[in-house]
Chains A and B, each alone.
Chain A
């Protein structure tokens, strides 16, 4: 914290951290009284960083993400996104990509992507152009007229990413976006996500169960413990970018993956 004290808070918030979590705790009312879900979470994600959170099921990863999206309120502690608290969802600051394909089946791909802009009553031409540009970015130009059931699993998640980016938020939150995909598609999508990320310079907070995916994608892997979720380790991933599939076979990659695995395995 000392080095932070040397900077003015304003500068730290506006230029340093896209996401700033301090002393966050969460307790929810369970059947047998209060259940601590998250405890002592401190997390600073500098702008433009790719941070991956891993941890056992039920460790509160998704809860944390919901709080960063303004969809849930924490019991204690503060969250600053782009320098300001986020009490309610703010799509101009945060885009969310959900588990599975949470696309609306009654809307076409391009209509799904422009949905957040429809909510803002953006002019039709403007939002359509923006949505088409996003589909283009995720490699789906020409597929805008398709309905979700006419798209493959990977394509659906591309549409979801396009929807998350359509309002150009500085922060993209992703909750196990590729969990439902087969291994091959998953690898391809991870690679594609890195391409999109490098082209848009977003800050990404990404949740996954796959350690390989975590190490492959991340600048930093945050390892969380079982309930109540605490941060056990922060593993910087110093592999060069752009990442390549070949890196997965290297000793460095294996050692990083092993370090993360140890932390999770030791959790009772």
Chain B
């Protein structure tokens, strides 16, 4: 099938989806109280985007997501590289890291509330915690993906340790590292949302939870659209970078 046909079909499916969202509630086939029509959600979207409290909530949520990301990714990356490269550190900590990785992080949320309250710090701490393990695992996998042959060739041409790191490790690991960025943002965003929805005084997650409890479905959907667009934009940005790296990935 040609690329053009695939794109046309995709557009067609999107149109069907959006059309159904508009007309199913309007015709009463779906209860409009549970699924408000698209046009109403869009009106509400512009409405809430103009509201001061929603803008402030977006700023808070963005700050939480960014700070947690900036802590979790380098820290997890460093631990992951250490676990893969340092024999003793790896032997001691890897099993533990794997065990903890398998536990659903949300069950620790009450402890984070007890330790940090329900403010900014708690959101960042919990999101960092729920993100860092996937970063550690992926960074370890990235280091292990570097072929020994590549290093041997570089050594045979007299490469120093720093040169091997810069010229072999970084480019070899780049595809997995970018993938890690993308996936860790999904974990990180989810962590902030869960923490905000569970117990918070502000943030987009908190507002969405509130709207849900008060049966304000148009606002709820508008909030979901905002978050979905933000998440997809980041994802696509990293995917674009991945694609630029992938010229040599076979």
Contacts and interface: CB of A to CB of B under 8 A. Distances in A.
Interface of A: 69-71, 88-91, 94, 96, 98, 100, 102, 104-107, 115-116, 118-120, 147-149, 167
A137 to B, nearest CB: 18
B152 interface: yes
A102 B249 CA distance: 15
28 contacts: A71-B152, A88-B158, A89-B155, A89-B156, A90-B158, A91-B157, A94-B156, A96-B153, A96-B156, A96-B157, A98-B149, A98-B153, A102-B150, A102-B152, A104-B150, A104-B171, A105-B249, A105-B250, A106-B171, A106-B245, A107-B248, A115-B154, A119-B154, A119-B157, A119-B163, A119-B167, A120-B158, A149-B250
Contact of A91 (B156, B163, B167, B249): B156
B156 A71 contact: yes
Interface SS of A by simple majority: loop
A115 B157 contact: yes
B118 interface: no
Nearest to A88: B158
B146 to A, nearest CB: 11
Interface in B166-199: 167-168, 171-172, 174
B3 interface: no
A96 B155 CA distance: 10
A89 to B, nearest CB: 5
A75 B150 CA distance: 26
Nearest to A99: B149
A148 B147 CA distance: 16
Given A102-B149, A147-B247, A148-B248, A69 B156 contact: yes
Given A104-B150, A118-B167, A89 B250 contact: no
B159 interface: yes
B153 to A, nearest CB: 5
B153 A102 contact: yes
A167 B154 CA distance: 14
